[in-house]
Structure 1
Amino acid sequence: MSPQPEPVPSPTTPPSLTEVETHGVDRIPDADRTATPLDLFRLAFGGANTFSTCVLGAFPILFGLSFWQGLAATLLGVVVGALILCPMAVFGPVNGTNNAVSSSAHLGVHGRVVGSFLSLLTAIAFFSISVWSSGDALVGGAHRLFGLERSTPSYVIAYALFAGLVLAVCVYGFRFMLFVNKVAVTSATALFLVGAIAFAGDFDPSYAGVFTDSADAATRSLFWPSFIGAALIVLSNPVSFGAFLGDWSRYIPASTPRRRVIGAAFLSQIATLLPFVFGLATASIIATKAPEYVDPAAPDFVGGLLAISPGWFFLPVCLLALIGGMSTGTTALYGTGLDFSSVFPRLSRVQATLLVGASSIAFIFVGRFGLDIVRSISTFATVIVTCTTPWMVVMMLGFHTRRGWYDPDALQVFNRRQRGGRYWFAHGWNWRGMTAWWVSALLGVLFTNIPGQFVGPLGDLANGVDISLPLALVVAAVLFLTLLRLFPEPRAVYGPEGARLARTVDTPVLPITGPDAPQNDAPLSDPPTTLRA
C-alpha cells in the first residue's frame, strides 16, 4: 500500500512568530485575515499603555492646572481623541490594506503620499518620545539600583537597546508585533497598578496648581489657554494612531461587524486613561515634593518620578520602561516601514522598514545629543497631529459619501506603478480632498497656541486659547463637502448604490494601464463585501 501524501496546511493557519511577514500594502487575501477586533484593541492600547504616555499625562501639571482640573482636561482629550480616531479602523477590513493606500480614493492615486508623509513624521515623533523617555527611565532606575553612572555612554546604550529591539520586532512583522503587545498590555497594566500602590501614600488630590483664588488676574487669565492646551496635548496621543490603524486592522476579515471594529479602537484609547492618570497623579506629587523637576522651562518628569519613588519601585520602573518602549516603538515604526515599501516599490517591506528605522534612530541620537530638541518633540507631535486630523476628516467623510464602497484594484494603482482607474481624477490628484486637507491644516498651524512652547502667527486671536484643532476639523468638513457639491466627482467612484451628501457627474474613467493591468477598458470588478453594520 502506497504511503499517504503529507496533508497540505490550511491556508487559514497563522504563520509562526518567527516567520518574517511577506505582505506589504497589497490587499491581504481573505484566507490570511485571522485577526480579531480584540487584537486591534491590544495593539492600539499596548502602543499607548507606556511610559511615554505618562510623560504626556504630566503636561496638565506642567501647565499649572490642579489635579482635578488636569483630570478634566485629560478626560476631555482622551474621549474626544478616541471619538475622532475610532472610525479610521474600518478602512483596513474593507480594503485589506493600510490607511494611506485607502486614501487614494479621496486624495487621488498620487495624493495618497500625503498619508505616507504624515505617518512618517508621526512615527518619528512618537518613536523618539518613546525611546527618550524609556531610555531615561532605564538609566535612572539602573543608577538608583546599581549605581550606574548617568553618562552619555549609558544613555547611548539604553537608546540603542530600545531602538534595536523595536526594529527587530518590526522586521519580523505583524504577528511578532501582536505577540509583543499581548505581553505588554498585561504586564504594563500590572506595573502601573503596582505604581499606584507605591505612590498612594504621597498622593494628594487637593493639589491646587497655580490657578487659585489668590492668584493675580494675569495668572487667572491664562487658565483657559492652559486647560485647552493640556487637553490638546493629551488628544494628540489617540489621534496619532489615525494613520496606523489600517496597518493592523487590515488582517481583520471584511465580514466583521463594523461596530465591533470601531468599538475596539474607541475602547483601546479609553483604556489609556490608566497611564495618563498615572502620569498626572505622579506629576502632582513631583510638583509638591520636587518642584524643580516640573519647571515649565526645563521639565524632567522621568527624573522627578525617580526622585520621589520608593527604592523598591526602581526595578518596576525599569521594567515598565523596557516593555513600554518596545510596545510604543513597534506600533509607531511598523506602519511607516510598511507604507514606504509602496512609495518606493523597489524596496521590500523588510528593506523599507530597515531604511525608515535607521533614519529614525539617527534622528533620535542627533536630536538628543546634537540638537537637544527633546523638550520640543511634544510640540512637534502636536503640530503634526493638527495636520493629520483634517486628513482623517477627509477620509471619514469620504467613506460616508461613498457608502463604504471601494475598488481594491484601483487603490493599488500607485503601488503597481500603473495609471488610470477610478481614483486617477486629474493626473492622479483629487484636488477636492487635497484642497480641503491643506487649507484646514494650514489654518490649524497658524492658530496653534501651546503655552510656553509654540504660538502660531494667528494663535493670539482667540485670547490665547488654542482653537487650532476645532478650527481644522470644522474647516476640513465644511470645505470638503462643499467642494463635492460644487465640483462633482465621477459617478464611477461611488459604486452601485450611488453617492450620499454629494453630487456626481457622468464622466469617463480612464482604464488602468501599466504592468499587470486588465486587458480591456471595462470598469474593474466590484470589491468584496464590506463590513456589516
Structure 2
Amino acid sequence: MTEVETHGIERIPEEDRNATALDLFRVSFGGANTFATAFLGAFPILFGLSFWQGFAATVAGLTVGALLLAPMAVFGPTNGTNNAVSSSAHLGVHGRIVGSFLSLLTATAFFSISVWSSGDALVGGLNRLVGVPQEMGSFAVAYGIFGILVLIVCIFGFRFMLLVNKIAVTAATLLFIVGFIAFWGDLNLDFVGSFGTGLDGMGMAGFIPAFIGAALIVMSNPISFGAFLGDWARYIPTNTPKRKVMGAALLAQLATLVPFTFGLATASIIATKAPEFMDPAAPNYVGGLLAVSPAWYFVPLCLIALIGGMSTGATSLYGTGLDFSSVFPRFSRVQATLFIGVLAIIFIFVGRFGFNLVQSISTFATLIVTCTAPWMVVMIIGFIVRRGWYDADALQVFNRRQTGGRYWFNHGWNLRGMLSWLISAAVGLSLVNMPGQFQGPLGNLAGGVDISLPAALILAAVLYLGMLWIFPEPRAVFPAAGPRWVPSSDTPVPEVFGADGKVVNQERGDAARTATVDGTMAGTDEMAAQS
C-alpha cells in the first residue's frame, strides 16, 4: 500500500492488475464525496429554486451526468492505460494530446477548488472552536497542509490513494449523515425560492433557465471525471465484465446525492436564517454553514474538510501528474506529479491571496467541462463502432516517440474525431451563459437558458457519426469482425518507425486483432453489445 508506484502510462501488465470494480467505486465516490460537492449542491438555492425544485434539478443533472460518464470507465481495463492515451485510437497519435490537456486543466481546477473550500471550512471551524484567527497566515497554513499531504499521497500512487479513499468513503458519508442530524431541527423542506415551491413555478419567467442552469452545474461534477477515469480503472483486469466497471462508475456518481443533498438542505437553512451569506453575486456558503451550525458539529465539519480535501485533491492531482508524464514521456510519473503539484500549490496561493480567483476558477471549470463532454462522446461512439477492440501496442506510439501504425491516420491526426470535437466544443463555448461571469456570443440564443452542454453533446454525436460515414476509417483499425454501424476503407496502414528510423515489428498487434474475432481476448464486444 505504501510502496511508490512505478507504473506510468505504459500498458499495465495483467499480473499487476489486481484492482476491482469496487475499488473503482471507492476512488470515484471518495473523490466526489466531499465538501466541494456539497458547495455545488447549494447552487439550486442560489439560482432561486425551492428545495424540491432544487432537488429535482439535482437528481436530473446527476443522473444524466453519471450515465454519460459510466462508459468512460471501460477504456482503462481494455487498454491498461489512461483515457488520454486510449483516445489515440479516435483522435490520432498526436491528437491524443487533447485528452491529456483536458485532463491537466480539469484536475488542476478541481484540485484548487477542493483545497480552497476545504481550507476555508477548516480555518472557519477552528476559529469557532478554539479561536484560530481567520487571517492570511491561517489560510496559508491550511492550504499548505492540504497541498503537501495530497502531494505525498499522489507520489506514493494508486494503491495508497485507494487506501485513503477507502477511509474517506466511509468516514465522509458518516459525517454527512451526522450533519443531517445536526441540522434536522432547522431543516426546511418547504423552503420557497423565487419560483414558488413546485411545478407551479414552471410558468414563471426565469424558472426554466434557473432549473437548467442548476442541473448543468450538478451535471458538470460527474463529467469532470471523464478525462481521467481511466487513471484508476487501468489497474482492473482486462477480463472484468464491462457492465461491472460501468456500474461502479455509475453508482459512484449516483451516491454523491448524499453530499449534493447536504449542500441543498443546508443552503436552504442558510437562506432562511442567514440570507446575507447567500447573495448570488458573492455567495459565502462556508461562512453561512458555520453561522447556522450547532457548536458540537464544528469538529465533524473540520473532519469533512480534512478528509474531503485529501480525497478530492488526491484523485485530481494523481491524474494530473500521470497525464503530464504522458505528454512529456521524459518525466516519470513521480517527477511529473512533483512538478505539477508544486505548480498547482503555487497557483492556489497566488489565486487566493494575489487575486480573487475563486469565481474565475468556477467559471474555468465550467468551460473545461463544456470542452470535455464532446470529447467523451467521440470516445464512446468510437468504442462502439470499433466493437471495443484496440491495438494496445499501437496506442503507445506517441509515448515511445515512434511514428506510423494503425492510429497514425493523417500525420498523427484523425481529422474525423478532431474536427467533431473541435467544432462541438467551439459551438458549446459560444452558447455558454453564466450571468456575471462568462457569456458566449450565442449565449442568449435560447432566451437566457444555458444550452451549451446539451448542444455540444448532440452536435459531437451527429458530426462524428457523419464523418465516419462520409470519410470511412481504415479497415485495420477495426477487429476482424469489422466495424459496427459505419463503413470502412481499404486505406493502407503505415509501418511503425522507431526514433532511430528503423521499422518496428507489428506482429503483436496483428496477432491481437486476429484473436479478437469473437471478442474473447478482452471481452471487448460486451459493452457494445449491451449498448
Residues 440-488 of structure 1 show CA distances to partners (whole Å, capped at 9, x for unaligned) of: 0010010111244322110101011111111101110000010111011
Residues 273-321 of structure 1 show CA distances to partners (whole Å, capped at 9, x for unaligned) of: 0000000000000000000101011100000000000000000011000
Residues 316-360 of structure 1 show CA distances to partners (whole Å, capped at 9, x for unaligned) of: 011000000000001111011011112111111000001111111
Match of residue 202, structure 1, among 186, 208, 212: 186
Residues 167-211 of structure 1 show CA distances to partners (whole Å, capped at 9, x for unaligned) of: 110000000000000000000001001000000000110100112
Structure 2 match to 1:177:
161
Cα contact 1:379–1:454 (8 A) shared by 2: yes
Residues 135-183 of structure 1 show CA distances to partners (whole Å, capped at 9, x for unaligned) of: 0000000000000000000000000110110011000000000000000
Cα contact 2:417–2:464 (8 A) shared by 1: yes
Structure 1 match to 2:234:
250
Matches for 1:137-176 after TM superposition, within 5 Å = 137-176=121-160
Give the CA deviation at 1:370: 1.0
Q: TM-score, normalised by structure 2?
A: 0.95
Per the alignment, in what secondary structure is the counterpart of residue 522 of structure 2? Answer: coil
Q: How far apart, in 2, do the equivalents of 1:519 and 1:124 lie?
A: 37
Deviates more, 1:506-515 or 1:69-78: 506-515
Matched, 1:20 2:12: no
Per the alignment, in what secondary structure is the counterpart of residue 247 of structure 1? Answer: helix
Give the CA deviation at 1:518: 6.0
Q: How far apart, in 2, do the equivalents of 1:501 and 1:89 lie?
A: 22
Match of residue 530, structure 1, among 518, 522, 531: 522
Give the CA deviation at 1:500: 1.0
Deviates more, 1:288-297 or 1:359-368: 359-368
Give the CA deviation at 1:522: 5.9
**What are the ranges of 5 or more consecutive residues in structure 1 without an aligned counterpart?**
1-16
Q: How far apart, in 1, do the equivalents of 2:10 and 2:360 lie?
A: 36
Match of residue 305, structure 2, among 321, 335, 349: 321
Per the alignment, in what secondary structure is the counterpart of residue 524 of structure 1? Answer: helix
Cα contact 2:392–2:509 (8 A) shared by 1: no
Q: TM-score, normalised by structure 1?
A: 0.94
Per the alignment, in what secondary structure is the counterpart of residue 73 of structure 1? Answer: helix
Cα contact 2:108–2:320 (8 A) shared by 1: no
Match of residue 338, structure 1, among 309, 322, 333: 322
Matched, 1:286 2:286: no
Residues 371-421 of structure 1 show CA distances to partners (whole Å, capped at 9, x for unaligned) of: 211123222211110100000000000000100000011000000000001
Q: How far apart, in 2, do the equivalents of 1:376 and 1:519 lie?
A: 47
Structure 2 letter corresponding to 1:60? P
Cα contact 1:491–1:507 (8 A) shared by 2: yes
Q: How many percent identity over aligned positions? A: 68
Q: How far apart, in 1, do the equivalents of 2:190 and 2:439 lie?
A: 31
Give the CA deviation at 1:218: 13
Structure 1 match to 2:409:
425
Once superposed, what is the RMSD of the aligned Cα atoms?
1.7
Structure 2 match to 1:3:
none
Deviates more, 1:220-229 or 1:199-208: 220-229
Q: How far apart, in 2, do the equivalents of 1:58 and 1:219 lie?
A: 23
Match of residue 303, structure 1, among 277, 287, 296: 287
Cα contact 1:169–1:330 (8 A) shared by 2: yes
Structure 2 match to 1:4:
none
Q: How far apart, in 1, do the equivalents of 2:257 and 2:78 lie?
A: 29
Residues 44-76 of structure 1 show CA distances to partners (whole Å, capped at 9, x for unaligned) of: 000000000001000001111110110011001
Structure 1 match to 2:518:
none
Cα contact 1:93–1:531 (8 A) shared by 2: no
Matched, 1:89 2:73: yes
Give the CA deviation at 1:219: 11
Cα contact 1:511–1:523 (8 A) shared by 2: no
Matches for 1:85-484 after TM superposition, within 5 Å = 85-212=69-196, 220-484=204-468
Q: How far apart, in 2, do the equivalents of 1:354 and 1:519 lie?
A: 33
Residues 19-63 of structure 1 show CA distances to partners (whole Å, capped at 9, x for unaligned) of: 100000000000001000000000000000000000100000111
Matched, 1:39 2:23: yes
Structure 1 letter corresponding to 2:105? L
Structure 1 letter corresponding to 2:462? V
Cα contact 2:266–2:289 (8 A) shared by 1: yes
More helix by share: 2
Cα pair distance change 1:520/1:348, threshold 3 Å: closer
Cα pair distance change 1:520/1:90, threshold 3 Å: closer
Residues 253-280 of structure 1 show CA distances to partners (whole Å, capped at 9, x for unaligned) of: 1101111000000000000000000000
**What are the ranges of 5 or more consecutive residues in structure 2 without an aligned counterpart?**
516-520, 527-531
Give the CA deviation at 1:212: 3.0
Give the CA deviation at 1:365: 1.1
Cα pair distance change 1:260/1:521, threshold 3 Å: closer
Structure 1 letter corresponding to 2:228? F
Per the alignment, in what secondary structure is the counterpart of residue 393 of structure 2? Answer: helix
* Count of aligned pairs between the two proteins: 515
Q: How far apart, in 2, do the equivalents of 1:335 and 1:19 lie?
A: 18
Cα pair distance change 1:399/1:48, threshold 3 Å: same
Cα contact 1:511–1:522 (8 A) shared by 2: no
Structure 2 letter corresponding to 1:158? A
Q: How far apart, in 2, do the equivalents of 1:460 and 1:530 lie?
A: 47
Structure 2 letter corresponding to 1:524? G
